[in-house]
Structure 1
Amino acid sequence: MAYPSKLTPESILHAALPLLETDGPDALNMRTLAARLGVQASSLYRHYPDRAALMSSLEGYATLELHAEMVRATEEVAGPAARLKAAGHRYLTYAAAHPHLYALLLAPRQPAHAIPGPGKDLWNLVLRLVGEVSGDPDDTARTVALWAYLHGSALVGLSGLLGLSGDRGGFQIGLEALIVGFAAAQASTGTAVVTFSAD
């Protein structure tokens, strides 16, 4: 008789990922997941007390993945404006490639103080990239503006509202306009230089 491998939070999470990514959150329940792993559903509760805990872990995974993707996008890219542009494009690419995972990042929640963790790390990455362009290392206002633009663009793209033609370059135009505006904050010092690399 074959016995299933020892369960760990990581093995459960990685078994849940294809269920979520293929069929969406409604298809992901503890019974289905247990069947995929070849165990009883009760075995899962030793690692995740309920489905909400599993979904929270998947959200953390998505946040880490998006962070890593945006970091990779900025590597070997010269100039603050070009790095921010590259990160913005990678954000949209990730959302399009992983719509169900991405949706977890925008799930409704009660407002709360930010705490250390993947979400805070992702925010700090974008805050740093924006600050490198604007000259303000704690440029919360412009970072919020960029977040809103990225989130909105991703959701519009995923909704299908843009039709078969897509955004026809609208995302890039908007992103570059934001970056130029951020750089204008440094204009009075004469240090603002905006250079965009080719896509």
Structure 2
Amino acid sequence: MAYPSKITPRSILGVALTLLEADGPDALNMRAVASRLNVQASSLYRHYPDRAALLSAIEAQATLALHTAMSEAGERATTPQARLSAAGHAYLTYATSHPHLYALLLAPRPPAASTLGPGKNLWNLVLGLVGEVSGDPDDTPRTVALWAYLHGFALMSLSGLLGLSGDQGGFQVGLETLITGFGAAEDGAGSHVPAPLSS
């Protein structure tokens, strides 16, 4: 049996991530993690006081991984439009490749004020990418619209609603339509949000 002193937050988190990715959140508990590490469950509590704390650490790690994937994808592109498109594809790839982690990131929760951390950093990344296209560095409306589209498409992909034939290019069509519209905002009325079609 491993000595508890050899157990670190990093090693615990690594095992927890493996369990969650393989079998979902129901498979994740302190006893299962301890068993994989060959220690008593009680030895984990000085690093993570409970399962909720461990889940929070996993969420932060997953958010950082998504941030990295989107950032690196955007860095390989040469125009603002291409950067945003590449980041959008990276988002969908991450969501569909890591379904349990993605579900944890966007699990329902009460509205709360945004605080500094991985989630805020991820938001700022997407906000910046959108702003490069629209010309508004604080373009919250269009960033929300993009995020809603990406999340909706990710859920459709994960649920199997797209069937065996997949999206037939629909994701790219939708993404290009959004990005083109964002660019039109810069060419026309700046960051002005169009009025509703009906009142």
TM-score (norm 2): 0.92
Residue 134 of structure 1: CA displacement? Answer: 0.2
Match of 1:188 in 2: 188
- Counterpart residue type for residue 162 of structure 1: L
Are residues 1:95 and 2:100 paired? no
* Identical positions, percent: 74
- Counterpart residue type for residue 91 of structure 2: Y
Residues 34-70 of structure 1: per-residue CA shift (max 9 Å, x gap): 0000000011111111101101110000000000000
Unpaired runs of at least 5, structure 2: 191-199
Distance 1:54 1:47 in 2: 9
TM-score (norm 1): 0.92
- Counterpart residue type for residue 79 of structure 2: G
Distance 1:28 1:76 in 2: 36
Match of 2:121 in 1: 121
Q: Secondary structure at the match of 2:6?
A: coil
Residue 141 of structure 1: CA displacement? Answer: 0.2
CA RMSD of aligned residues (A): 1.5
Match of 1:195 in 2: none
Report 1:47-196 matches (<5 A): 47-188=47-188
Query: Which runs of at least 4 in structure 1 moved beyond 6 Å after TM superposition?
Result: none
> How many residue pairs align between the two structures?
190
Residues 89-131 of structure 1: per-residue CA shift (max 9 Å, x gap): 0000001111111111111111011000000000000000000
Are residues 1:20 and 2:11 paired? no
- Counterpart residue type for residue 149 of structure 2: Y
Distance 2:188 2:71 in 1: 30
Match of 1:193 in 2: none
Unpaired runs of at least 5, structure 1: 191-199
